[in-house]
């Protein structure tokens, strides 16, 4: 709708002109119109039909009384059945909303970096190295993450819809540079996206198809740590945030070196190099293959992600410094605590990660060196 058409539609649906010019809106199959007005630089969601305003909600999530507050705005307003999906911008962050105006229920996800919406799927870059986060719309239920290359540049990436089902990934720092095109999951793959039973074991089988004996312990630790986003519950629905264990293999390597267990440290690096070798750093990611089942696709993508992380983590072990743009708070004390690892609930950790965590905590691990 043009601005004039939107204003006219709002006036009819609400029984009078809007208090301020509506900036975006959408009409559902029942004739209800949802639109955004601005009040003191705060985006307000309103819903109206048959001459009556049915719902009104400010969309600010930060302290609006702060003298430095710069307001919030909405860039997306769409009906999905009885729910409204919105994207707002506030304090340099984006938030993905799902609002049920009839039940007066809403939920929001922070999308700190670049994002796109493709039909019933939202995809964005968050805090998982080398992975795009994904959520179903309008439920905001988690969907399997999507691996991508060149993770150290992630704060300077942008996503762009190329055509239905594909997204382009660009590095926008300094000179724009194309990275790769990723295929998003098909409708069928999205609908059957529940976590795979025995997921870690299936990833192991994909990485070590010819191995008759047990998988090397460093490999199991890496697999559990870096594929945790494929099996965890929705991070945005966990009441007490805790840091991800993604870099615990680097802590473990440092522990082995400091304890004089240099042969084990060399074995860890050798295992990581062997895992990474079949996937050259120069080879792009491609995303979902429409021929995959949802289960096989999750395992295949996770295995490729493990290979890329094996290379990145081996490099970090050797350099002693995290890739630029990444940091780790896994053993950092919680606020008002001096206990290492007190941000973490050990009961939520997978077996190999928990074992390493319980061995490392008494050693008071220092934070990994980072270049943010």
Poorest-confidence range of 18-22, 140-144, 262-266?
18-22
Q: pLDDT tens across 70-109, in order?
A: 889 999 999 999 999 999 999 889 999 999 999 999 999 9
Can you give the pLDDT at residue 193? Answer: 73
Sheet holding 25-27, edge to edge: 25-27, 33-39, 42-49, 52-58
Find the helix packing angle between 351-360 and 248-258, rounded to 10°: 40
Can you give the pLDDT at residue 3? Answer: 84
225 vs 362: CA distance, rounded Å:
20
- Structural contact between residues 107 and 62, judged by C-beta atoms closer than 8 angstroms: no
Calculate what percentage of the chain has a pLDDT beyond 90: 73
Can you give the pLDDT at residue 261? Answer: 97
Q: Is the pLDDT of residue 268 over 80?
A: yes
Averaged pLDDT for residues 177-181:
91
Poorest-confidence range of 181-190, 321-330, 352-361?
321-330
pTM for the whole structure: 0.92
Q: How far is CA 114 from CA 61, 88, 95, 128, 308, in A?
A: 19, 13, 11, 13, 21
Nearest to 362, CA basis, from 340, 343, 347: 340
Q: Is the pLDDT of residue 232 over 90?
A: no
- Tracing tokens 């999906």 back to the chain, one arrives at 85
Poorest-confidence range of 125-139, 148-162, 200-214, 297-311?
148-162
304 vs 275: CA distance, rounded Å:
10
- Structural contact between residues 308 and 147, judged by C-beta atoms closer than 8 angstroms: yes
Residue predicted with more confidence, 65 or 160: 160
Q: Is the pLDDT of residue 195 over 80?
A: no
Can you give the pLDDT at residue 352? Answer: 97
The single-letter DSSP state of residue 4 is H
Averaged pLDDT for residues 112-139:
93
Can you give the pLDDT at residue 371? Answer: 67
Averaged pLDDT for residues 325-342:
91
Mean pLDDT over each residue of the chain, to the nearest integer? 92
């Amino acid at each position: 709708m043009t601005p004039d058409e939107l204003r006219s539609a709002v006036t009819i649906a609400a029984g009078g002109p809007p208090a301020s010019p509506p900036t975006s809106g959408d009409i559902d199959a029942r004739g209800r119109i949802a639109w955004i007005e601005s009040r003191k630089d705060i985006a307000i969601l309103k819903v109206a039909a048959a001459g009556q305003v049915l719902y009104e909600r400010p969309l600010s999530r930060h302290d609006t009384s702060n003298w430095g507050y710069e307001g919030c705005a909405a860039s997306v307003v769409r009906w999905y059945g009885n729910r409204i999906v919105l994207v707002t911008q506030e304090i340099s962050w984006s938030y993905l909303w799902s609002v049920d105006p009839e039940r007066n229920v809403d939920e929001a996800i922070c999308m700190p970096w670049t994002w796109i919406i493709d039909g019933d799927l939202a995809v964005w870059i968050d805090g998982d190295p080398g992975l795009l986060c994904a959520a179903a719309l309008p439920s905001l239920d988690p969907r399997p993450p999507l691996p991508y290359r060149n993770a150290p540049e992630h704060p300077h990436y942008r996503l762009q819809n190329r055509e239905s089902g594909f997204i382009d990934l660009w590095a926008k720092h300094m000179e724009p540079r194309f990275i790769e095109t990723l295929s998003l999951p098909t409708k069928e793959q999205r609908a059957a996206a529940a976590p795979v039973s025995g997921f870690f074991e299936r990833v192991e089988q994909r990485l070590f198809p010819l191995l008759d004996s047990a998988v090397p312990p460093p490999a199991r630790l890496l697999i559990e740590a870096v594929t945790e986003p494929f099996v965890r519950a929705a991070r945005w629905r966990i009441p007490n945030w805790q840091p991800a264990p993604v870099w615990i293999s680097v802590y473990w390597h440092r522990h082995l070196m400091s304890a004089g267990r240099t042969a084990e440290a060399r074995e860890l690096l050798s295992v990581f190099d062997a895992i990474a070798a079949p996937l050259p750093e120069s080879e792009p990611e491609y995303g979902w293959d429409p021929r995959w089942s949802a289960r096989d696709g999750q395992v295949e993508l996770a295995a490729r992600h493990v290979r890329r992380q094996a290379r990145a983590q081996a490099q970090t072990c050797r350099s002693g410094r995290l890739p630029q743009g990444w940091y780790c708070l896994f053993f950092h004390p919680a606020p008002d605590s001096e206990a290492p690892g007190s941000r973490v609930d050990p009961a939520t950790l997978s077996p190999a990660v928990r074992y390493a965590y319980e061995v490392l905590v008494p050693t008071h691990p220092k934070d990994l060196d980072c270049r943010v």
